[in-house]
Structure 1
Amino acid sequence: MATLQQIAFHAGCSLATVSRALKGEGPVSDEMVRRVRRAAAELGYRSRTSAGVAGTRNRPVVGVLVPSVTNPVFAASLAGIQHRMQAASHGVLIAQSNYDPALECRAVSALLEQRPTGLILTLCNAETSKALSASLPPTILLNNLPVARFPAAVTVDNYRAGYEITRHVLAHRHHRILFVSGHFSSSDRARLRYEGYRAAMGDAGYRPLQPMEIPFVDGYEHLELAPVMEDYAPTAIIASNDLLALGVIGALRRVGLSVPGDVSVAGFDGIPIGRLMNPSLTTVAMPDGDMGVAAAAMLLDIATNALQCRHLRLDHRLYAGGTVRSAV
């Protein structure tokens, strides 16, 4: 088996630098980390600690953080991650933040205790990621735009998706369009979708309404829309995700309004249950499973082959559905 001395010679650095780079501890430049990991991969190096841990559980693992394991969006991404990691003989450890930024550090710390090969993280807001531990293994952001600390990411263009679904609703002669969302502090994806909505409204010459923000984790079956319907009298509602769109439809029916007869409704994600409805839900379909596969493949490339970090953006697709119709 290759030694640390051989890796140091191959990478052109000191033993101390090799140790820091492999452990993810101490001051080492990103370029040097890549050089050391590339040398270790080429020489077939495997640390004693990793070998011992892997021997205990029979195979290496990766850690994955998502806001919720029950949301079909993240469940699809997890399935994609597990499928790709299974092919690479890796296990998958899963943690959830419950859309709470304060819980993210604790969840990541729990994953790190298992010494994963790397991490795949869906954060409430990647801009606040400085609160995470300074010593992390190779890390991929999933659904968050890349930041200076985490340049590797797999995303869709949530801003553009928000713009396109709003243009679709506007094309059906709706001008009073309400955006209903979970708290933006819990999801930068929802915030970007709202910013796309605002831009589309402004470009069309209409004033965007103030968003209605509600908690993500309280469930949508008891969503109360009567006050906001009275205040804004919207003819259409765009929800920041499909589950919330279903909650909006239920809330409208409870106050005697039909969809799309009285109010049009649209969402984001393209979860299967939306297509089973009658009429089917108007939405922007996201490639959640493919994103999980892509994030897993990218992590393996960076962690084992020392490839450069990059930002991969997958395409979304507007699904017209039947819950949006022309305003009278």
Structure 2
Amino acid sequence: MVTLQQIAFQAGCSLATVSRVLKGQGPVSGEMVRRVRRAAAELGYRSPPPAGAGARHRPVVGVLVPSVTNPVFAASLAGIQHRMQAAKHGVLIAQSNYDPALEAPSVAALLEQRPTGLILTLCNAETSGALSAALPPTILLNNRPVPRFPAAVTVDNHRAGYEITRHVLAHGHRLILFVSGHFASSDRARLRYQGYCAAMEEAGHQPLPAMEIPFLDGYEHLDLSGVVVGRRPTAIIASNDLLAVGVIAALRREGLAVPGDVSVAGFDGIAIGRLMSPSLTTMAMPDGDMGIAAAAMLLDIAQHASACRHLCLDHRLYSGETVRMLN
């Protein structure tokens, strides 16, 4: 059995430092964390199971997502689980319900199970209280990296917002409204809106203020009556595909056709958008591949002390049928 003393000798540090690194508690420099983890990996060290777990204990990773019912995060979770099953790891899942205040206690609950590492999708990685604690190897999924946690798997949401707005502009639309979940609940939505603003300004048009609604219960109760009368947009870009479906339903309740009266576009590329008629114009995201990549990166860092890196995967436009060309 590999001892902590052996790891300390290999890493060239004190026993107390090894203990802090392996427990994820207390101040330790990033360089020393990498040295200890590398020494532990080279010696074949495995953390002891929690009290009472016995020989049946299986290593696990903890995953935090905003919602397990959103197809985007379900696809990422499937990718994570697929990769972790191959590595004989279990997957523990927590959800924040798009509430920043729930992130820290959710992560604390995951840490009670002594996971090999964490994969976190946060409302805003720059302000999240979940990152203030001492954490095991951690990958940010869908969030840009932050100085303390430079390992991340993302897409360029700002660029995606810019490109889909350019697509709508190319169809002759000028009054384009951006409908989104609250930006405080999703830095992804905020970045997509900023991309929309950049494209509108580049084209010489004034961006409209975003219409923000709750992520969890705003979709089916969306009321666009005031928007239709007041702003009269010819196109609406929704911050995700589920919201785009809600926008289409709300427009139909107002007696408007899509895309005959108002064009609609979204983000994510979920299956329901391709199956509906007319098919949804959207910016497709590689959610399943992102989950696989995050899981593989976490295992590399936790087991082989690999360097942290930021992996940005490609998005692609699915033109669909819900954006029409204006005369």
Counterpart in 2 of 1:216? Answer: 215
Counterpart in 2 of 1:4? Answer: 4
Question: Separation in 1 of the partners of 2:178 and 2:38?
Answer: 47
1:154/1:291 contact within 8 Å kept:
yes
Question: Separation in 1 of the partners of 2:256 and 2:168?
Answer: 18
Question: Separation in 1 of the partners of 2:84 and 2:195?
Answer: 34
SS of residue paired to 1:99: coil
After TM superposition, list the pairs within 5 Å mapping 1:273-288 onto structure 2.
Answer: 273-288=272-287
Change beyond 3 A, Cα 1:222–1:73 = same
After TM superposition, list the pairs within 5 Å mapping 1:50-199 onto structure 2.
Answer: 55=54, 57-130=56-129, 132-199=131-198
Change beyond 3 A, Cα 1:236–1:56 = farther
2:225 aligned with 1:229 = no
After TM superposition, list the pairs within 5 Å mapping 1:219-258 onto structure 2.
Answer: 219-258=218-257
- Residue identity matched to 1:4: L
Change beyond 3 A, Cα 1:274–1:2 = same
1:90-139 CA distance string (max 9 Å, x none): 00000000000011111111111111110000000001124544211110
Please state how far the C-alpha of 1:48 moved relative to its aligned partner.
2.9
2:49/2:57 contact within 8 Å kept:
no
Counterpart in 1 of 2:267? Answer: 268
Change beyond 3 A, Cα 1:54–1:197 = farther
Counterpart in 2 of 1:40? Answer: 40
Question: Separation in 2 of the partners of 1:11 and 1:302?
Answer: 16
SS of residue paired to 2:39: helix
Please state how far the C-alpha of 1:145 moved relative to its aligned partner.
0.2
1:174/1:235 contact within 8 Å kept:
yes
2:100/2:128 contact within 8 Å kept:
no
Q: TM-score, normalised by structure 2?
A: 0.97
Question: Separation in 1 of the partners of 2:53 and 2:267?
Answer: 40
Counterpart in 1 of 2:15? Answer: 15
- Residue identity matched to 2:192: R
Please state how far the C-alpha of 1:45 moved relative to its aligned partner.
1.3
Please state how far the C-alpha of 1:25 moved relative to its aligned partner.
1.2
Question: Separation in 2 of the partners of 1:77 and 1:222?
Answer: 27
Please state how far the C-alpha of 1:293 moved relative to its aligned partner.
0.2
2:103/2:128 contact within 8 Å kept:
no
Provide runs of 4+ in structure 1 moved above 6 Å: none
SS of residue paired to 1:69: coil
User: Any unmatched runs of 5+ in structure 2?
Assistant: none
Q: TM-score, normalised by structure 1?
A: 0.97
2:125/2:143 contact within 8 Å kept:
yes
Please state how far the C-alpha of 1:277 moved relative to its aligned partner.
1.0
User: Sequence identity of aligned pairs in percent?
Assistant: 81
2:104/2:129 contact within 8 Å kept:
no
SS of residue paired to 1:127: coil
Counterpart in 2 of 1:310? Answer: 309
- Size of the aligned set, in residue pairs, is 327
- Residue identity matched to 1:47: S
Question: Separation in 2 of the partners of 1:230 and 1:47?
Answer: 62
Question: Separation in 2 of the partners of 1:276 and 1:85?
Answer: 31
Please state how far the C-alpha of 1:235 moved relative to its aligned partner.
0.1
Please state how far the C-alpha of 1:289 moved relative to its aligned partner.
0.1
- Residue identity matched to 1:120: I
SS of residue paired to 2:126: helix
SS of residue paired to 2:128: helix
Root mean square deviation of aligned Cα: 1.2
User: Any unmatched runs of 5+ in structure 1?
Assistant: none
1:216-241 CA distance string (max 9 Å, x none): 01141221001011111100000000
Please state how far the C-alpha of 1:278 moved relative to its aligned partner.
1.2
- Residue identity matched to 2:98: Y
1:16-47 CA distance string (max 9 Å, x none): 11111111111210110110011011001123
